Amino acid sequence: MTTINNQEDISLSYVMDVDLSQKNSLDFLHHHFQSYYRVTPVDLPDRFSRREFAFVFFGGRGMLRHLSFSKKQALNEFVGQRAPAHAYYSTAYYQTPDARTMQEKGWMGAELIFDLDADHLPNADVIPYHQQLSLVKKEFYKLVDDFLLNDFGFEESSLELYFSGGRGYHCHVKDPKILHLDSGERREIVDYIIGRDFSDSVVFFDHSTGVTKIGAQQYSSGKSLTMPSPDEPGWKGRISRGLIELIEDIIQSDDPIEKLKEYGVAPATAERLLADFSSDRINRIKQGKLDQSKAIRRFFLNNVLRKTAVSYASGETDEPVTCDTKRLIRLPGSLHGKTGLKVTEVTLDTLEEFDPLQDAIAFSDELIQIEMLQKNEVFFNNETFHLEEGMQEVPLYLAIFLIGRKMAQISSK
CB atoms within 10 A of CB 389: 12
Which residues in 238-389 belong to E strands, given as ranges? 328-330, 344-346, 367-372, 376-380, 383-387
- Residue 15's pLDDT is 45
Sheet holding 64-69, edge to edge: 2-3, 64-69, 53-56, 86-90, 328-330
Do 182 and 206 belong together in one domain?
Answer: no
Of the residues 291, 311, 331, which one is the last residue of a structural domain?
311
Do 173 and 250 belong together in one domain?
Answer: no
- Residue 117's pLDDT is 87
Q: Which residue of the set 145, 182, 280, 318 is catalytic?
A: 318
Do 383 and 303 belong together in one domain?
Answer: no
Half-sphere exposure of 86 (CA within 13 A, CB side): 20
Do 32 and 156 belong together in one domain?
Answer: yes
Q: Tell me the C-alpha distance between 66 and 89, whole Å.
A: 10
Q: Tell me the C-alpha distance between 196 and 316, whole Å.
A: 11
Of the residues 283, 311, 339, which one is the last residue of a structural domain?
311
Q: Which residue of the set 19, 117, 324, 359 is catalytic?
A: 117
Q: Tell me the C-alpha distance between 77 and 205, whole Å.
A: 62
Do 171 and 54 belong together in one domain?
Answer: yes
Do 80 and 148 belong together in one domain?
Answer: yes
Burial code of 288-326, b = ≥16 C-beta within 10 A, e = fewer?
Answer: bebbbbebbeebbeebbbeebbeebbbbbbbbebbbbbe
Which residues in 17-121 belong to E strands, given as ranges? 53-56, 64-69, 86-90, 92-94, 107-110, 112-117
318: annotated active-site residue: yes
Do 130 and 204 belong together in one domain?
Answer: no
Amino acid at site 71: K
Do 69 and 171 belong together in one domain?
Answer: yes
* Domain of 84, in residue numbers: 2-191+317-409
> Smallest Cα–Cα separation from 357: which of 167, 172, 171, 170?
167
Do 156 and 82 belong together in one domain?
Answer: yes
Is the Cβ–Cβ distance between 232 and 241 less than 8 Å?
Answer: no
Q: Tell me the C-alpha distance between 353 and 344, whole Å.
A: 14
- Residue 10's pLDDT is 42
Q: How many folded domains does the chain comprise?
A: 2
Do 126 and 58 belong together in one domain?
Answer: yes
Instruction: Give the 3-state secondary structure of residue 348.
Output: helix
Q: Tell me the C-alpha distance between 338 and 140, whole Å.
A: 22
CB contact set of 83 (below 8 Å; sequence gap of 6+)? 30, 31, 33, 34, 36, 37, 57, 58
- Residue 317's pLDDT is 58
Do 268 and 180 belong together in one domain?
Answer: no
Is the Cβ–Cβ distance between 394 and 385 less than 8 Å?
Answer: yes
9: annotated active-site residue: no
Domain of 40, CATH number, reads 3.90.920.10
Q: Which residue of the set 17, 46, 98, 115 is catalytic?
A: 115
pLDDT in 10s for each residue of the chain, 413 residues: 454 443 444 444 444 445 788 999 999 999 999 999 999 999 899 999 999 999 999 998 899 999 999 999 999 999 999 999 999 999 999 999 999 999 999 999 999 999 988 877 777 778 899 999 998 998 899 889 989 999 999 999 999 999 999 999 999 999 999 999 999 999 998 888 877 776 666 666 666 555 555 556 655 555 667 777 778 788 777 777 877 787 788 888 888 888 888 777 778 878 877 777 777 777 777 777 766 555 666 666 555 555 554 333 444 556 678 888 999 999 999 999 999 999 999 999 999 999 999 999 999 999 999 999 999 999 999 999 999 999 999 999 999 999 999 999 998 76
Do 58 and 142 belong together in one domain?
Answer: yes
Of the residues 257, 282, 311, which one is the last residue of a structural domain?
311
- Residue 309's pLDDT is 46
The dihedral through the CA atoms of 398, 399, 403, 406 has a sign that is positive
